[in-house]
Amino acid sequence: MKINQHIHQRIAIKNTLITLIILMILIALASVSRLYTAEIDLSSNNGNTLSKASQKILTTLPEPITLTAYIKETTLQQQLAQFINKYHRFKRNITIHFVDPTTVPDKVRELNIGPQGAIIVEYQGRTEKLIYLDESTLSNALLQLAHSKERWVTFLTGHGERSPIGKANFDWGVFGTQLEHHKFKIQTLNLATFSTIPDNSSLLVLATPAVALLSGELNIIKNYINQGGNLLLLTDPNNPHLKIIEQQLGIIKLPGTIVDGSSSLYGIDDPSFVLVSDYPRHPISINFNSITVFPITSAFIIDEEGEFTNTPLFSSAPRSWTETSEISGNIRFDVDTDEQQGPLTFAYALTQDIKHKNQQRIVVLGDADFLSNAYLGNVGNAELGFRIINWLTHDDQFIEIPPKIARGKSLQLSKISIAVIGFGFLLVLPLLLIGTGIIIWRRRKRQ
């Protein structure tokens, strides 16, 4: 068939139209791809996809979520951005911003951010501070923000207790400010002037009174406990002013101060500092893996005849003991004294079911310094304090997200296999290469 000019023009027009149609289809597909996305997680353990629990939490948070990472290291910033991208696939209005902590020292001090940095999660004016970030910690922080409600925490005053607004080293002013950021309402109560505990109080805090309480004040607190009130009781070694309340709760305080022989392993020279890194299974410690520091701590034992259900929360190391003499110079455990060998429990969670009321919750802890202005910034102290307050005020909703373990990341070979591979790479393969080279050289030489 002879191709004349007319046929040639028709073929050219046809090819042009086909090209334009293909281009239009590609442009349309590109436009659609910007509006709609389709992703498939091909990893064996779905490690690149959020769990169903996390996806469900995101549906309860319609407003924008903002994460501010006070982190300087560029590599870590890239890792965090990649991690947040997993959340961004299911919630478009979640954003993360990075701030160099050295450029905003005042903000760092206000937020009590340590040298390791922190991430502030904000939703509807409420905030959560995270030091360690993974799916479990972030999703639980979002869960807290989604269900957070206004709660009143009452601090007893008038006896030299730790003040939630004080600025002294032993006061709780920094922690009190952070509680307010978490939508807690703080009120102080002097029972000498106001002889009842307010009905709106979700929690009463007794933080190491320096002088004895009056009998009338003790009766008010005892009645509050008998009526099912939630309580956080903190005491120090050799402080006798809460002994009547401790007896009511079935708590017996051991004489002396806990000294921890293993604290030097963490670079702490003071043996009265108790470090905790292992926690029992309890709602307060779910997914909590930070070290906490407790200076000057007293130990407890439980009166088995008490009416509360008790759960040990924090214990000292096996190398610890209760030192009944002055902590100075070379100290050691004395067998023939009242001193007790570790591990020693210094915090208990007490519960009791009350008819027509929420479960009564009480935490008794043998140290009030760990949340003070001087020590709050130590590793996980602040987060642990929030967890205790949240549990006591019945705002302890947590989810457990099972870890995603990648399969096939390790290769185990027998000794024979290792020997064959080693022999092959070290001897056989080099000989083959040398032999091949000799053969090629001889053939070229013959030519």
Q: What is the mean pLDDT of the chain?
A: 85
pLDDT at 47: 61
pLDDT (0 to 100) of residue 258: 92
Most confident of 27-36, 84-93, 393-402: 84-93
3-class DSSP state for residue 399? coil
Does the model's pTM come out above 0.75? no
Query: Is beta strand 184-189 parallel, antiparallel or unpaired with respect to 151-156?
Result: parallel
| Cβ neighbours for 159, distance < 8 A, ≥ 6 positions apart | 209, 210, 211, 212, 213, 241
pLDDT in tens, 333-349: 878 788 888 799 999 99
- Peptide bond between residue 343 and the one before it cis (omega within 30 degrees of 0): yes
Task: Find the helix or strand (DSSP H, E) in which 123 lies.
Answer: strand 118-123
- DSSP string over 328-339: -SS----TTSS-
- The domains found in the chain, sorted by start residue, are 52-130 (3.40.30.10), 150-392 (3.40.50)
What's the chain's Rg over C-alpha atoms?
Answer: 32
Most confident of the ranges 13-22, 106-115, 323-332 = 13-22
pLDDT at 193 (0 to 100): 87
Cα(164)–Cα(393) distance, integer angstroms: 17
pLDDT in tens, 394-412: 876 665 565 554 455 556 7
Token pair, residue 381, equals 């102290």
**Which of 78-82, 351-355, 395-399 comes out lowest in average pLDDT?**
395-399
pLDDT of residue 207: 93
pLDDT, position 3: 60
**pLDDT at position 409:** 55
